[in-house]
Structure formats: structure tokens, C-alpha cells
Amino acid sequence: MPTNPATKSVNVPADTHFLLSKEAKRLQISQADYTGAAVRYFAERGLHPVEDVAREGQLIMQQVKKLGDRVFGYLQEQERSLLLPMLEEMLRSRVTLERVLRMNEILVNNLTQQLSGLSEAQLSEQREGLKQLRAQNEDMIERQAKEAVAAAQHADASRLKAGDKAVKVATN
């Protein structure tokens, strides 16, 4: 019968009491503290203390599942925030390219008809103008490509910084 009204007594088999006494003495703690810690251990982890299944394995599997869910969630976020916009831009570029190609076909047909009536001097003048336009176009494409790469690198660096902050917040 307990002397302290805040405590309760539990009957355990003699061999269990012997182990309790031995382990509590080895760890230099009271039997009540040892028993309380053991009960809390199983209760906090939601484990069944008399199952023969490896309890730590269950904990590890739960943690692996949670980690897998986090990784999958991260991949889904990347898909939404990065891959879908990239796909949209690629499709937009393809549609634009198809339109430009159709317009070029029309322009080539019209120019062919117009050029057939020009003299050799006029044709030479047109070729020079075309060379200048081609050079300007290549310079513009080069500049736009460099600007696009720089913008993508800047956006990627910003995402990495935001990702690092999110990881720090998640791990704290």
C-alpha cells in the first residue's frame, strides 16, 4: 500500500521486480523513476511493450515515410514552381517559332516574285541590305540569349537562397 496518496502500486512478477531492482540500481535511479521512464517511453512512441516485433523498426519506418512524404512534397513544389513555367515557356516559344516560319514562307514567296523583276545592280543592293539585317539579327539573338541566361541564373540563385531558408526553418 503506497504511503503517498499521489502514487499508486502495481503488482509485477518476482522476476520482473528483480530486473527492475537490478537495472534501477545499475543506473542509480529509483525504481519509481525507472518504471515511470519505461512507461513514458512506450506511451510517447505509441508502441506495444509486449510485442515481439522490433519496435525501433516501426519508428524507423514511420520516419522514413515522413521523410519520403517531405521529399515528394518538395518535388511537387518544384514541378509547380519551376517545371510547369518552363514547359509553358517552351510551348509558347514553339508556337511563336511556328508562326515565324509560316510568315517567312509567305515573305520568301513574295520576295521571290518581287526580286525576279529587279536588275543585277538592284539585286546586289538587296543582298548587301540582307547581310546587314542578318548581322543585326544575330547580334540581337546573342544579346537576348545572354540576358535570358543571366536572368535564369539570378532566379535560380534567389530560389536556392529561399530554399536554404526553408530548410533551416524546417530543421529548427
pLDDT at 114: 81
For residue 165, pLDDT beyond 70: no
Give the residue, 171 or 65, on which the prediction is more confident.
65
> How many domains does the structure of the chain reveal?
1
Higher pLDDT pick, 163 / 74: 74
Three-state SS sequence of 1-32:
CCCCCCCCCCCCCHHHHHHHHHHHHHHCCCHH
100 assigned to some structural domain: no
Give the least confident one: 31-40, 52-61, 118-127. 52-61
Q: What angle do CA 138, 139, 143 make, to 5 degrees?
A: 115
In angstroms, the CA 106 to CA 160 distance is 46
Q: Is residue 20 part of a domain?
A: yes
Confirm if 21 and 31 have CB atoms less than 8 A apart. yes
Whole-number Å distance between alpha carbons of 21 and 168: 44
Q: How far is 80 from 72, CA to CA, in rounded Å?
A: 12
**Which residue do the cell numbers 538587296 mark?**
126
| 133 is a domain residue | no
Report if residue 30 sits inside a domain: yes
Q: What confidence tier does 115 reach under pLDDT thresholds 50, 70, 90?
A: confident
Helix (H, G, I), strand (E, B) or coil at 117: coil
Q: What is the pLDDT of residue 54?
A: 58
Residue 42 domain-assigned?
yes
Residue 2 lies in a domain: no
**Mean pLDDT of all residues in 45-50:** 78
Instruction: State the Cα–Cα distance between residues 119 and 125, nearest whole angstrom.
Output: 10
Domain span at 46: 14-52
pTM (2 decimals)?
Answer: 0.36
| Average per-residue pLDDT for the chain | 83
Residue 63 C-alpha cell reads as 520516419
pLDDT surpasses 90 at 34: yes
Name the least confident of 80-84, 88-92, 128-132: 80-84
Question: Is 70's pLDDT higher than 60?
Answer: yes
- Whether 26 is covered by a domain: the verdict is yes
In a domain, 140, yes or no: no
